[in-house]
Structure 1
């Protein structure tokens, strides 16, 4: 089950870093202006697109449960959609194409999550709803905190979070060569959960600052938040499923005794 944590979130971070983030310096950190109406309207479009992506992901999960389509191919297709989407210029005549790619990426991501969700349903179906609600609550709280906080207050997290992603990549690389223990997999899961919760705050504030500087690419911005949500959801789902399986095993032992 720990293998599901290896690609969700980190692959997008590596892909997205190749296209670069908006530049900023120390003086921008002191800018505490309120969010302008134009930026507020941009955030509405971002969260509307994000909600549509959630629906597409749910469809992808359903398609896997019905036809068993999720796996390595859908994961590779998901990464392909990410690269294709990020490589398309943000001109108005490309908007519909980029939106379709966003929905396709979300659907493929949901299908790729299908095998994990199928396992969880067989162990304890209630864990799935609890993990989704928990992820949604965490996303609303962290994203809302970033919106209501002082301007650029959490941008300094970018360097720390980038270092954290590098640590996870090196751990995965070392595990592939030398073999990974259960304790390492647990560390990757919990550390990754904290890391991508931080990315929710960081990406939300970066979206605000980019929009304030004239970058209204709501498709790319909603994709960033979607991958953050998916990365948190996968890790939280794995943690809760492990706990549920452990409790079930303890109950079986008690009954035998």
Structure 2
């Protein structure tokens, strides 16, 4: 209640500046992966490439799962270096860049096997959903609404999605199941956009700007990949 609104708005602007740079880097890196044909060709021409491709498909979901686990259970000294150094400048920015590049590579490989029309549809809908939910969350927060109750529900939903995705990889259940998977994923990560935006407005401290940017970036990437899976299955 005693916090200066100017400081909080400066913090919010900083987060969205970092997020915008991440999205531009993702688009650029994905475009390179798509345009350099030997890269996607490697993933369909060898067993090792196929295994790596499957890992890249679930990598964004693993990132969200790890992030949610850290936030909900305050786990320390585990797994990703970005968690260790997210408050240490400039190491945090270097690790954030590497994290963004690796995730954008996963997006690029996925898009390389998708029609351009489907990619455009998923990108447009992702942009509309992100902007709409962001504006809604700011509006709701201004009126005193709180979305912390979504945390455990969304965390459980990500685990279900991850297991469902692994089952789908080893025991394909057809196009309808992929569409259901994509639709459920889109709903879950839409909820995460609301939840993490609410945290950005109310709960993150000023030295957690990297962690806040990672949260929103993962939400947007996973929403895009879920919509991509949905539209790609619908397109046949």
Q: Structure 1 length normalisation: TM-score?
A: 0.69
For residues 152 and 69 of structure 1, what CA distance do their matches in structure 2 show?
A: 47
Q: Within 5 Å, which residues of 2 pair with 1:126-205?
A: 126-150=117-141, 151-175=144-168, 179-182=171-174, 183-205=176-198
1:225 to 213, 216, 223: 216
Q: Please tell me whether residue 113 in structure 1 is matched to residue 107 in structure 2.
A: yes
- Report the 3-state secondary structure (helix = DSSP H, G, I; strand = E; otherwise coil) of the residue aligned with 1:95: coil
For residues 190 and 138 of structure 2, what CA distance do their matches in structure 1 show?
A: 15
> 5+ unaligned residues in a row in structure 1: which ranges?
1-30, 246-257
Highest CA radius of gyration, 1 or 2?
1
> Contact 1:56/1:104 (CA < 8 Å) preserved in 2?
no
2:9 to 31, 40, 47: 40
Aligned to 1:87: 84
Once the two structures are superposed, residues 137-188 of structure 1 have per-residue CA deviations (whole angstroms, 9 ceiling, x without a partner) of 10011122112213452221112112212222333455567x2412443322
Aligned to 1:238: 229
- Report the 3-state secondary structure (helix = DSSP H, G, I; strand = E; otherwise coil) of the residue aligned with 1:140: helix
> Contact 1:132/1:233 (CA < 8 Å) preserved in 2?
yes
- Report the 3-state secondary structure (helix = DSSP H, G, I; strand = E; otherwise coil) of the residue aligned with 1:216: helix
Once the two structures are superposed, residues 51-76 of structure 1 have per-residue CA deviations (whole angstroms, 9 ceiling, x without a partner) of 00011111221231244446628949
Q: Please tell me whether residue 104 in structure 1 is matched to residue 98 in structure 2.
A: yes
> Contact 2:179/2:229 (CA < 8 Å) preserved in 1?
no
> Contact 2:181/2:230 (CA < 8 Å) preserved in 1?
no
1:62 to 12, 31, 35: 31
Cα offset for 1:215? 4.3
- Report the 3-state secondary structure (helix = DSSP H, G, I; strand = E; otherwise coil) of the residue aligned with 1:194: helix
Higher mean Cα deviation, 221-230 or 143-152?
143-152
Aligned to 2:70: none
> Contact 1:152/1:205 (CA < 8 Å) preserved in 2?
no
Cα root mean square deviation, aligned: 3.0
* Equivalent pairs, count: 204
Cα offset for 1:237? 1.6
Cα offset for 1:224? 0.7
- Using a 3 Å threshold, how does the CA distance of structure 1 residues 152 and 96 change in structure 2: closer, same or farther? farther
> 5+ unaligned residues in a row in structure 2: which ranges?
44-51, 64-78
